[in-house]
């Protein structure tokens, strides 16, 4: 299982590098981009489940909702139901580029770079990944004490992002435009909590 996680991480790194190179154009950067990989491990309650698409909507302990797609290695998905408390693990990737959007990004401020489940050209076609999306967002709230930045996406939706670098947090400004690239791998494990 650990080997498959490492392979998945390398595949996503290659995918992000390839995808962003294809869609990026030269523009002025205000500061270097930042990126972060994170293995998310949570206990959550199943709010909705689609056995056909293998999508599971989870409510975390803080009330946050997220939808993940269960990897084929998650066996006996048919035994899970709404209300079950489960433990889940999945990888996420976030890249923030502090630059002006390109003309193409202005025309299409939210783009799915790669659909979930498709391996990029040149990679093993059996490798499965989550979707890779890119969005032009605006910084709306900077919570320095809690080290959170809330951004508004092109559809008017908001998301709060933890920031580990205090120096970066000090440089951010309300109204600043950031290009975010986000990838979520398939859920590697779903287990009922006893």
Task: Copy the structure tokens of residue 68.
Answer: 């993940």
For the segment 27-75, what is each residue's pLDDT rounded down to a tens digit?
Answer: 457 889 998 888 788 899 999 999 998 888 888 887 777 777 787 778 8
DSSP 187: B
Q: What is the overall mean pLDDT for the chain?
A: 78
Phi, psi of 153 (to 5 degrees): -85, 175
Compute the half-sphere exposure of residue 122: CA atoms within 13 Å on the CB side of its CA. Answer: 6
The pTM is what? 0.62
Per-residue confidence (pLDDT) for residue 20, from 0 to 100: 44
Q: Is 54 left (phi over 0), alpha (psi -120 to 50) or beta?
A: left
> Helices (H) and strands (E) in the chain — how many of each?
3, 10
Most confident of 8-12, 18-22, 41-45, 66-70: 41-45
Per-residue confidence (pLDDT) for residue 180, from 0 to 100: 94
Tokens 């209300």 — which residue?
83
* pLDDT bracket for residue 123 (50, 70, 90): very low
* pLDDT bracket for residue 116 (50, 70, 90): low
Domain boundaries, the chain: 2-192
């Amino acid at each position: 299982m650990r080997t498959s996680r490492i392979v998945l991480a390398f595949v996503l790194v290659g995918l992000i590098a390839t995808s962003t190179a294809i869609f990026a154009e030269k523009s002025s950067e205000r500061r270097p981009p930042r990126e972060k990989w994170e293995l998310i491990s949570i206990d959550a309650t199943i709010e909705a489940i689609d056995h056909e698409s293998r999508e599971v909507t989870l409510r975390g302990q803080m009330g946050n909702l997220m939808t993940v797609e269960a990897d084929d290695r998650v066996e006996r998905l048919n035994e899970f139901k709404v209300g079950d408390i489960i433990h889940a693990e999945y990888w996420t990737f976030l890249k923030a580029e502090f630059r002006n959007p390109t003309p193409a990004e202005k025309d299409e401020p939210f783009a799915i770079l790669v659909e979930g489940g498709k391996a990029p050209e040149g990679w093993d076609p059996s490798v499965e990944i989550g979707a890779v999306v890119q969005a032009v967002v605006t910084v709306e709230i900077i919570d320095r004490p809690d080290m959170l930045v809330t951004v508004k996406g092109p559809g008017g939706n908001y998301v709060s992002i933890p920031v580990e670098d205090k120096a970066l947090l000090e440089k951010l400004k309300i109204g600043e435009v950031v290009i975010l690239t986000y990838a979520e791998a398939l859920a590697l494990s779903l287990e009922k909590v006893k």
